Amino acid sequence: MKVIQADNYEDLGKIAGEMIFRQMEAKDDSVLGLATGETPVGIYQYLAEGYQDRNLSFSKVRTVNLDEYIGMDGSNEQSYRYFMNKHLFNKVDIRKEFTEVPNGKCEDVEQECLRYEKRIEEFGGIDIQILGMGENGHIGFNEPGNEFICDTHVVQLTEDTRKVNARFFDSADSVPEQAITMGIRTILKARKIILAVYGVKKAEALAGVLKDRVTPWLPASVLQFHPDVTVIADAGALSKCTGLY
């Protein structure tokens, strides 16, 4: 894995954003894998502010998001569809029919998981996947556990993850208990991966990703198996990684 230290949060967004712009310049119908959470917001801000200056269009770009809460549709302000509309889709010229987020209000979640996998295949696979990482090392909503789950699936969110996400809700009890998420194999099929990590709270997990053996108890460690991963992190996130890159 290639590791780049960002000077600050803004710099992290710029470095990742430039990688995405280069991908779009090379292929105007690129398929972007997108993540939600606090860390990617700076990336989307950079893209939204810069695309007109670059004379780049998102009109042929396709996107697929990592996950969505079960029970939420795009009108819910806590849904990831709403998040993406707010932070990126409504600010660029992307075609909404080219943007895929799992349907959290679907009637059959198992069929939705299969549909999502098929949709990614129809797009031709993901060219560049943005990932954040939780304090417990989860990517997407692939939580620590006994095994890696390969394909898009339903996950029971851990109490730790629900507590961390509670800051976005009225109360911890309001955080959904389940989500639909891309699986590990789906993520690893992406041709390139950006792992964006910010803050000292994630330092221990990031050190494990860079130095420890691959284990489903630290889901992001599986990125060691991918041939083209760029880690972009600030000094806090890299504070326990001395000598590892």
pLDDT of residue 98: 97
pLDDT of residue 47: 97
Instruction: Give the angle 130-233-238 at the CA atoms, nearest 5°.
Output: 140
Distance separating the N- and C-terminal Cα atoms of the chain:
8
pLDDT of residue 124: 97
User: What pTM does this model have?
Assistant: 0.94
For the chain, give every domain's residue range.
Answer: 2-234
Q: Which CATH number is associated with domain 2-234?
A: 3.40.50.1360
Show pLDDT as tens, one digit a residue, over the chain (245 residues).
999 999 999 999 999 999 999 999 999 999 999 999 999 999 999 999 998 888 889 999 999 999 999 999 889 899 999 999 999 999 999 999 999 999 999 999 999 999 999 999 999 999 999 999 999 999 999 999 999 999 999 998 877 778 777 777 776 777 888 899 999 999 999 999 999 999 999 999 999 999 989 999 999 999 999 999 999 999 999 999 988 77
Rg (CA), the chain: 17
* 145 Cβ contact list (under 8 Å, min separation 6): 216, 217
Residues known to be catalytic: 67, 136, 138, 143
**CA-based nearest residue to 137, from 155, 161, 154, 153:** 161
Q: What is the largest CA-CA distance in the chain?
A: 50
pLDDT of residue 142: 95
